[in-house]
Amino acid sequence: MDLEEIKSIDSQNMWELLNTFPEQWKEAVESTKNIDLTIDKERISNICFVGMGGSAIGADLIRSFCYDRCPFPIQVVRHYEIPCWVDENTLFIACSFSGNTEETLTALTSAREKGAQIIAVTAGGELMVKAAKEEFDYIKIPGGMPPRAALGYSFVPLYRIFQQLELVEERDGALKDTARFLSEQNDLLSDPGDNEALNLAEEINDTLPIVYSDATMMEPVNLRWRNQFAENAKTLAYGNTLPEMNHNEIVGWEQIVHLTGRLSVILLIDKEDNPRVQRRMEIVEELVEDQTASLHILKTRGQTRLARMFSLIQLADWTSLYLAVVSNVDPTPIAKIDLLKSKLA
Ligand SMILES: O=P(O)(O)OC[C@H]1O[C@](O)(CO)[C@@H](O)[C@@H]1O
């Protein structure tokens, strides 16, 4: 494959957005260095995020990143409705790239009514107008791209908020290490001639990808694979997490012999996965391998936990782009979402 071939299919240059992702990350790290928040930190006893799609995944990532460190419960809501426990002790973080997503705005209104402290992360729209008018904290991020291609801009501010709450390390070590890692890996994955993401896309093309991972830190990484396959490559992908799938779903492989060779399995592995989950993953591999067209074990790379999580996110993003190209579909348009929105309007 060469760049010309990619560009003939990729009308709005998703290739370029992925290729500049490491720069986006660095820019986000710089521009959020001194965010000014007025929230009362002493009042916080739980955190609730609201967002949809590409704007919710950043929230999932920070929640999973802190899974074993954050003393507060954290929930990520993808809905109009918020949990009844949201109150004046809640830090409510509304994430919307456009600032106009109806579920997010509705949930925010309810959280305001319940007295929660609010921070918005947005590139503009109604959310920013509201923040200015109602005088709650907001972090403005750059606009002009699909939300799923703006994960650096939407995740780094959340990391910064967590730094101010002393829920992640105060220094920028992990942010900078991740920037370095993403640049290095990008050099490999953006080479259209031959790279791991392209090879993976070619191997799983014409199959239903099934993504399995541990349920803690890797859960949002798993979700990112499936969402990017859907939005970029316009193909369904299925996924689940361990250990739970060992207690039900694994049995479901028994009666799907007619799909043998039409499924590919992607196992996402990190060295911090629970040791029993690691063993369970090996057994799952043995149990399903014969029924798959191909099985891929993808281990996180990089030094810090943050770099490791983003190592497989970047691989997911590139794999979904190449899968779009090998399937001859334009990665950027999301016609079915547009249609849905027009019917809802
Ligand atoms: O970040 P926003 O603008 O709230 O959008 C959330 C999600 O909604 C969509 O715009 C489509 O409904 C997605 O592309 C996006 O991931």
User: What is residue 334's predicted lDDT score, i.e. its pLDDT?
Assistant: 97
Question: Does 97 contact ligand 1 (Cβ within 6 A)?
Answer: yes
Gap between the Cα atoms of 61 and 220, Å rounded: 6
Q: How far is the CA of 100 from the centre of ligand 1 (A)?
A: 9
User: What is residue 191's predicted lDDT score, i.e. its pLDDT?
Assistant: 96
Q: What are the structural domains of the chain?
A: 32-170 (3.40.50.10490), 177-326 (3.40.50.10490)
- As given in the structure block, the two tokens for residue 281 are 């993953």
Q: How far is the CA of 94 from the centre of ligand 1 (A)?
A: 13
Gap between the Cα atoms of 186 and 16, Å rounded: 11
Ligand 1 atom at shortest distance from the alpha carbon of 101: 4
Gap between the Cα atoms of 220 and 239, Å rounded: 11
Gap between the Cα atoms of 233 and 313, Å rounded: 15
User: What is residue 1's predicted lDDT score, i.e. its pLDDT?
Assistant: 87
Choice from 55, 57, 95 to test ligand 1 binding pocket (greatest atom count within 8 A of CB): 55
Side-chain-side CA neighbours of 178 within 13 Å: the count stands at 27
Ligand 1 atom at shortest distance from the alpha carbon of 148: 16
Gap between the Cα atoms of 286 and 289, Å rounded: 6
Question: Does 125 contact ligand 1 (Cβ within 6 A)?
Answer: no
Closest of 221, 224, 218 to residue 242, by C-alpha: 218
Say what angle helices 102-113 and 125-134 make with each other, to 10 degrees. Answer: 20
What ipTM was assigned to the predicted interfaces of this complex? Answer: 0.96
Q: How far is the CA of 148 from the centre of ligand 1 (A)?
A: 8
- As given in the structure block, the two tokens for residue 217 are 């830190």
Gap between the Cα atoms of 157 and 140, Å rounded: 9
CA distances from 281 to 160, 290, 300, 302, 318 (A): 34, 15, 15, 21, 25
What contacts 233, CB < 8 A, 6 or more positions away?
201, 320, 321, 323, 324, 327, 329, 331
pLDDT tens for the chain, 345 residues long, are 899 999 999 999 999 999 999 999 999 999 999 999 999 999 999 999 999 999 999 999 999 999 999 999 999 999 999 999 999 999 999 999 999 999 999 999 999 999 999 999 999 999 999 999 999 999 999 999 999 999 999 999 999 999 999 999 989 999 999 999 999 999 999 999 999 999 999 999 999 999 999 999 999 999 999 999 999 999 999 999 999 999 999 999 999 999 999 999 999 999 999 999 999 999 999 999 999 999 999 999 999 999 999 999 999 999 999 999 999 999 999 999 999 999 999
Q: How far is the CA of 53 from the centre of ligand 1 (A)?
A: 6
